[in-house]
Chains A and B, each alone.
Chain A
């Protein structure tokens, strides 16, 4: 990505701290599709996802001083903000937490419209590699990352012992790694 090399992460952080609008605009242009993708995967509603994206960038602009480079890259930090904001919105608005737990209880979550919608989104932007991820492995990553489920909820949803959720997660991610490298 030639355009991405215009600014280093350190320069971006510095620019945001200096309240530089140009840097903010650049940051938005380069990172908003990925962050909007996260919001859409979590919420599956374009209007709410748009509101979430707006909130995410205001949070980035306002709390750049809280970014700690020792914990990870700027993009990782922004992804965390996007995921957490989207999951908060998911819990507080359209889909209530109890709804999510009921879904997990009866495993209907796999056939839920919200998942169906993002499966459609998958086909728009998803590389073949991720599509080849086994269904169970993909589900575990989706439930954890995009639905904000806990170990307990995943253990219930996939009907696997609580103690094996972490190792299953690891297997899924190792498989994903292999696919992304291909």
Chain B
């Protein structure tokens, strides 16, 4: 190989300034390993490029460093991870399922579950049919008693309705008022659907933030009821800094209703976590269920 010709061809300059396709890059690197004079020129060019680049140096805004120091300090916490763009969450400390197989498995499980639910529903419908046939038969044979029984049925229905109302009134924080209904159409409130996270792939809540009052709202649709010793928290993350936005009320009667949480100034992301009661987002005990990004 005529190494002088190679050097003067301009390939080394093109290499150092990133103009070569990958295969030629590998070639130059192999030749540089083999010929010390080539290596020396490459090193010289790299140094020169460094000088060239320094000519354009600009001091970055100070908040970038603050953000970075927070990220690296919290890199082993879920909050730190979430402060990163998705593609950088390489050493994800939150146990993530292998993306393909368990997802399929989970589908299979829910499929089976659904099948079982349908079986139960079918059995219940058949049961009701039989009972109703029995009642019909009974009513037909005892038509005199019909009116009284009908009234009794209406009365028991009323009682059930009253009980229902009572039950939903017990949870004050999730009581739905007309004011709440207005929030859904309020132009000051930004509503976003949260996405699932890790082993909880489905979006289960909608989160709102009121630009005017800074209040945070949450509507639960599908979060599973927490075990007795645990509770759901909503946390906001702004500039990589997590903050508590309140504890969620997750009961069958709270579903679909607006919950009022703490106020927060310009949140960037929201995270719903399941944590042992009394813990303060301690490492390792916090499980992330939902994530939402607020694009303002």
Contact = CB atoms under 8 A, between A and B. Distances in A.
A125 B73 contact: no
Contacts of A36: 57-60
B49 A76 contact: yes
Contact of A79 (B42, B48, B49): B49
B170 interface: no
Given A76-B46, A76-B50, A79-B50, A144 B14 contact: yes
A166 B13 contact: yes
B18 A21 contact: no
B129 interface: no
Contacts of A127: 55
B55 A170 contact: no
Contacts of A106: none
Nearest to A148: B18
A34 B53 contact: yes
A46 B61 CA distance: 9
A80 B18 contact: yes
Interface in B118-155: none
Interface string B2-21: 00000011111110111101
A109 interface: no
Contact of B71 (A41, A58, A144): A58
Contacts of A29: 65
B53 A38 contact: yes
Given A58-B68, A76-B49, A169 B10 contact: yes
B177 interface: no
Interface string A57-80: 111011000000011110110011
Contacts of A148: 18
B71 A169 contact: no
Contacts of B61: 46, 50
B43 A170 contact: no
Contact of A176 (B47, B52, B57, B67): B52
A104 interface: no
B11 A122 contact: no
A149 B51 CA distance: 21
A177 B56 contact: no
Contact of B72 (A61, A129, A151, A169): A61
A75 B91 CA distance: 24
Contact of B60 (A53, A129, A150): A53
A58 B19 CA distance: 25
Contacts of A24: 68-69, 72
B72 A79 contact: no
A75 B57 contact: no
Contacts of A125: 55-58
A75 B50 contact: yes
Contacts of A90: none
A169 B33 CA distance: 23
B51 A180 contact: yes
Interface stretch (B82-90, B208-216, B218-226): B82-90
Contacts of B10: 166-171
B261 interface: no
A15 B246 CA distance: 40
B49 A169 contact: no
A170 B41 CA distance: 12
A173 B55 contact: no
B64 interface: yes
Given A37-B53, A166-B13, A170-B10, A83 B18 contact: yes
Contacts of A172: 13
Interface of A: 21, 24-25, 28-29, 32-34, 36-38, 40-41, 46, 50, 53-55, 57-59, 61-62, 70-73, 75-76, 79-80, 83, 118, 121-122, 124-127, 129-130, 141, 144-145, 148-151, 154, 165-173, 176-177, 180
18 contacts: A21-B72, A24-B68, A25-B65, A25-B69, A32-B65, A33-B58, A36-B59, A55-B88, A62-B88, A73-B50, A121-B58, A122-B56, A129-B55, A141-B17, A144-B18, A149-B19, A180-B51, A180-B52
